Amino acid sequence: MPAMKWWGWGAEGVGFSHEDKPALGPFIKDKIGVDVRAKGAPPVAFNELAIVEPMLPEELRADLEEAVGARFVSTDALDRVVHGRGKSLRDLIRQRSGDLPRLPDAIVRPGSEEDVTAIMQAALRADAVVIPFGGGSSISGSLQAPDDESRPVISVDVERLDRVLEVDEQSRLARVQAGVFGPHLEEQLGAVDYTFGHFPDSFPHSTLGGWIATRSSGMQSDRYGDIADMVKGLRMVTPVGTLVIRPVPAASNGPSVPQMVLGSEGRLGIITEATVQVRRVPEQRTILGYLFPTFGDGVAAMRELAAGEYSASVTRVSDAHETQFSFAMRVNPTPLDKLQSVALKAYVSRRLGFDPERMCLAFIGFEGSKRHVAAERRAVGRLAKRHGGLCVGAGPGVLYDQKKFDIPYIRDFLLDRGAPGDVSETATTWSNLMPLYDAVMAAANGAFDELSVQGYAMCHLSHSYHSGACLYFTFAFKGTSPGAMLGEYDLVKSAIQQAFVDNGATLSHHHAVGTEHAQWLLEDISAPGVAMLDALFEGFDPGRHLNPGKIVSREGLRAGPPV
């Protein structure tokens, strides 16, 4: 699969356009003061980047070429820049301005687990650093080598490990190589009428190994589970040999080693293969839209849904701010669409008493046999009605399903016009969810006021559990100047993250820790928790050869919690 742009999200030539969304331009102008018609400022030209020469000793290069073949060892400048960072907003701001990180000295693409083992052994002999690379979609700072790293840095791109090796139909398990991208995984499983059912926002540009290494969640996790629920076995090349976790449904064999690997961000080894649970492709799949009078009403409906005997595949409810954004994103509405929209607003406001400025759009997904889906729709319809909700049909759900992977492109579009936009997500209990929401929105708007900038924050509930849910916040603002953008972004992002831990929530639900969120780890899991992780990483990799500085760093331990 082609690598993503070195300066933004997605493939070269693919981007975001507002021209087929007539309401979006006025909305963005009103909310953050950005004129979408203004010509954007492109990133610096690639040939203007100051790219230092790779530090790759000849002996190490020879060992790597022997391990995988000379054609799969690259020191190409573009390849090194692409693999030097992920896609966090900080990464993009710096990349676009030409501020490059400590780049990898070589990109190595193994074609087998044996190749990965040979790479690991060569790196250890040469005292080199190894950083696993899947699709490069990390937005938490998980891919960059430390700026002061003086040893050779090897980026191990596992894109060639992309096959479904076996499907055990009796156990509903599949052995899959870790470098497979989401679309190719679903294509291979779909050929035998199975699905993995894991669809994160990064789905087109992320890999199975990356999902495991960051504890990913997908849009259908309510039915399929998070990645930690879906992985039943795995193989990982480590400095002391190949870790093998047998695919069993449950085990009582001490502290969970698989759970140590999940979310380890490359600090314990390179994942080469996983055995994952799969399901038959459902006979029917549909996502329905619902309108609720307020965000609180929608959240209450999702809480009841999670506690009951329902089996929804998607449970998502947007607050009023995100609902208004969703309406502004509608593509080329026809006169009939506009008439129906006006009629719907009139109906919900006059007949149902909704305030159009407070009403919220929700999506609930259903999968299974036609009989099961029909029964679920009726039951959920009654539930929604108890909370003041109104089903508005499959149209909004179809649009959501079509556009769910497009949102990351908007960041590049806004950055072109001097407006940083980003996301932060967390999880908390149902009883704490609305107080947390209020606190985070107040923190974001307080940060905008402190900067004297025009900003906009919005939120949706995206993954429901028996005891709580994930809240996913999106924010954007018009920066005061290009040079001040990163500092202004830090102030807003930090205000939101600090509000998470100050109000009993976790630092991240599914985006991982990396370096972006590491400063809040101590407040999230307490000092003994951080000490456990540090002992694991330092004890298993005392030479700090595996993606050093991520999750827990020596500097972070000394610094303590943020003030």
Residues with a catalytic annotation lie at 472
Residue 179 near residue 188 (C-beta atoms within 8 A): no
Map tokens 């891919």 to a residue.
143
Closest CA to 492 of 562, 433, 442: 442
Closest CA to 314 of 217, 403, 379: 217
- Residue 377 half-sphere exposure toward CB, CA atoms < 13 A: 20
Distances (CA, A) of 1 to 157, 326, 369: 12, 30, 34
Closest CA to 247 of 190, 165, 192: 165
Closest CA to 51 of 107, 105, 100, 106: 100
Kindly tell me the sign of the dihedral angle through the C-alpha atoms of 339, 343, 349, 350: positive
Q: Beginning with the edge strand found earlier in the chain, give each strand of the sheet holding 270-277 in spatial order.
A: 164-168, 173-177, 270-277, 231-238, 241-245
Rounded Cα–Cα distance for residues 102 and 211 (Å): 25
Rounded Cα–Cα distance for residues 449 and 66 (Å): 58
Rounded Cα–Cα distance for residues 399 and 202 (Å): 18
Q: Where are the beta strands (DSSP E) in 249-346?
A: 270-277, 279-280, 284-292, 314-318
Rounded Cα–Cα distance for residues 441 and 457 (Å): 7
Provide φ and ψ at 99, rounded to 5°: -85, 95
**β-bridge partners, 236:** 243, 271
Residue 492 near residue 447 (C-beta atoms within 8 A): yes
Length of the chain: 563
Residue 154 near residue 105 (C-beta atoms within 8 A): yes
Distances (CA, A) of 86 to 53, 103, 131, 274, 420: 21, 12, 12, 23, 16
**β-bridge partners, 362:** 290, 317
Query: How many C-beta atoms surround the C-beta of residue 529 within 10 A?
Result: 13
Closest CA to 138 of 270, 261, 266: 266
Rounded Cα–Cα distance for residues 85 and 234 (Å): 26
**β-bridge partners, 390:** 291
Kindly tell me the sign of the dihedral angle through the C-alpha atoms of 343, 344, 345, 347: positive
Residues with Cβ < 8 Å from 15, sequence gap 6 or more?
8, 409, 412, 413
